[in-house]
Amino acid sequence: MAFKPNFDNALSFVDIVKQRFHDQESIYREFRYLCERFRREFTEPESVISQVKNLFSGHPDLISQFLNFVPKILRRDKDSASASTTSRNSSDEVGREKTKSCIEFVNWVAETLQDDYKFKSFLDAVNGFRKYKDIDRVRERVSVIFKDHPELDIEFSRFLLDAVLQQITECEEVLFD
């Protein structure tokens, strides 16, 4: 049976990381910090992946488990990608930027696909993710829709990674705050 990233799996993973590094709290705190920075769009996905790999160095099982939460298209070796960071002054600005970014992406999808059926299928897949939190199912559906548009597929993967890291952060807040 394939791994299905969801809230419970994210919760379990965060607990495993906390237990593994119970005597090295700085590693656990750094992991939480990386997830939070990404969730707030201060760090690019490739940078988060690289930093988590470095943080979990010597613990290949944790790296492998972490990568289960990362969309396959972003799992490729992108450690050399440079991290671009931006600073934002308020959470309201971050929220506006996220909303703007989502709207721009959806508009880009509509313009690129130029097919009402495919566009509606894409929207249905996204709504399915919001409802069921089944990343694998959404990735499969969207990959078929975007098969002739890899640039859309890559950008969509970034949105999914953001959603997964947000779930991890929410799990941490429930468990440890």
Which residue ranges make up each domain of the chain?
7-84+170-176, 91-160
Q: Output b/e per residue, 163-177; b: 16+ Cβ within 10 A.
A: bbbbbbbebbeeeee
The CA-atom distances, in angstroms, between 116 and each of 17, 105, 154 are: 44, 16, 21
Mean predicted confidence (pLDDT) in 52-70:
87
pTM equals: 0.45
Alpha-carbon gap, residue 148 to 161, rounded angstroms:
22
pLDDT at 56: 93
Superfamily of domain 7-84+170-176: Paired amphipathic helix (1.20.1160.11)
CATH of segment(s) 91-160: 1.20.1160
Half-sphere exposure of 12 toward its Cβ, with a 13 Å CA cutoff? 10
Average pLDDT, the chain: 75
CB of 23 closer than 8 Å to CB of 67: no
Identical fold for domains 7-84+170-176 and 91-160, yes or no, is yes
Q: Which residue has the higher pLDDT, 119 or 131?
A: 119
119-141: average pLDDT:
79
